[in-house]
Amino acid sequence: MALELPELPAVNSTVRFQSEKHKLFGGGKVRHARRAGTKCIVGIEFADGLKWMPPEDENVEEPITLFGPAVE
């Protein structure tokens, strides 16, 4: 999974993340990190597993798409 962070973390460091919007939280090891302009793009390998809870007011079917469809 790739995350956008405000600062560039060290490779092999551990990060935790949480998204209220997507009801997603977890942690992992930084496997890749680079600057992209003013942003830092970080590749994460999950260490503790990934937790997701569906919104209570929606009928959710799997697989769940966190972002829009890929553009070819």
What pLDDT, in 10s, does the model give residues 53-69?
666 666 666 655 555 55
Question: Residue 12: pLDDT above 90?
Answer: yes
Q: Number of folded domains in the chain?
A: 1
Amino acid at 26: G
The H or E element that residue 6 is part of is: none
Residue 22's domain spans which residues?
2-49
Strands 39-52 and 14-19: unpaired
Q: What is the pTM of this model?
A: 0.59
- Whether 69 is covered by a domain: the verdict is no
pLDDT tens digits, one per residue of 25-56: 888 899 999 998 888 999 888 766 666 666 66
Residue 55 resides in a domain? no
Query: Could you tell me where the beta strands, DSSP code E, fall in 37-70?
Result: 39-52
